[in-house]
Amino acid sequence: MSSQTFFTKLDAEEKAKKLESLAFYKGKVTLWVKNQKEKFDSKIVGFSQIDLSLNTDLPVATFPSSSQLLCSFELNGVSYFAQVKHSPAVNNTLLLNFTTDLFKSERRANFRLITFPKYQIFAEFDVIVKDNSSNVIDLKPKASQTGLFKQYLNLVNESKEGGVSSFLRIQLQDISASGMGLHVGNLEKDYFKKDHVFENVRLQFKDESMTIPKVQVMYVVDFINKEKLPAYKIGLHFPNLSISLDDRLSKKINTLLKDLDPNTDFENFIK
């Protein structure tokens, strides 16, 4: 039987953020020499963002200086792995340098939480409804032509930009700690131009809400929905999340992942 664990390399920004988060929460790492069974747990007591090094509380003599040292740690239910260089710190404790790649390992289903139809999670985008043709602005809430995703425009008040300020509420199709996916119809597509950045997007979960400071449109692609109407897949990225918000969102997603019932997944699959 093949392994159900898959490894994904983090980019430089993600790697720095995870190491900083680990140090901020004074987390623990597990260290071992490659091909040896004995493992050592160590607490992180310092972090240098300049050279991406973590200072541990283990004596430097714990490992031979020439050994290939492997490291793992956990954040918000996700495990991370790296092969690290090690050297003495000022206080003669073990210093770990993460100049090499950092990987996260998850079961395949955990890369991204598929939210629809099991979870009712919505994103609310502040938008401006422009008056392009006359002095009359249509104040009717605009229901999605797809009908499946329960999205709508809620018109609020007049804007200095020559339109009406509104929020567009769309049900999520999937979400991860780094971004989310939406399905929209023609009515909503015009609000999602590639590279456009929305500010203060509100994520509405069943029991709580979160505000994402910036959400960038990464792609807009066509697809055919069940009603055979024009539809579009929107991919969005959460750039530069703070450590606290990244941790909060990751914890929420991992909590929902733990609640997944494979029987329910199969029922949804055969609908």
The DSSP output letter for 143 is: B
- Flag the least confident range among 24-38, 114-128, 220-234: 220-234
Q: Which residue has the higher pLDDT, 16 or 67?
A: 16
Q: Which residue has the higher pLDDT, 155 or 164?
A: 164
Please check whether residue 86 is in contact with residue 69, taking contact to mean a CB–CB distance below 8 angstroms. yes
Q: At what angle do helices 12-24 and 243-258 cross, to 10 degrees?
A: 90
Please check whether residue 221 is in contact with residue 233, taking contact to mean a CB–CB distance below 8 angstroms. yes
**What is the CB neighbour count within 10 angstroms for residue 64?**
10
Q: Is the pLDDT of residue 242 over 80?
A: yes
CA distances from 202 to 6, 76, 218, 249, 253 (A): 31, 22, 18, 12, 16
Name the residue type at position 72: S
- The pLDDT value recorded for residue 152 is 53
Chain mean position to CA 68? 31
Q: In which residue are the tokens 């023609």 written?
A: 186
CA distances from 21 to 36, 111, 113 (A): 28, 20, 22
Q: Examine domains 5-108 and 113-269 and report if their fold is the same.
A: no
Domain ranges of the chain: 5-108, 113-269
Q: Is the pLDDT of residue 10 over 50?
A: yes
CA R_g for the chain: 23
- The pLDDT value recorded for residue 37 is 82
Q: What is the CATH number of domain 113-269?
A: 2.40.10.220
Name the residue type at position 36: Q
Q: pLDDT digits over 49-89, tens only? A: 888 899 999 998 898 877 888 888 988 778 888 888 888 88
- Residues with Cβ < 8 Å from 252, sequence gap 6 or more? 205, 208, 210
| CATH 2.40.50.100 fits domain 5-108 | no
CA distance linking residue 118 with residue 271, whole number of Å: 13
CA distance linking residue 72 with residue 122, whole number of Å: 34
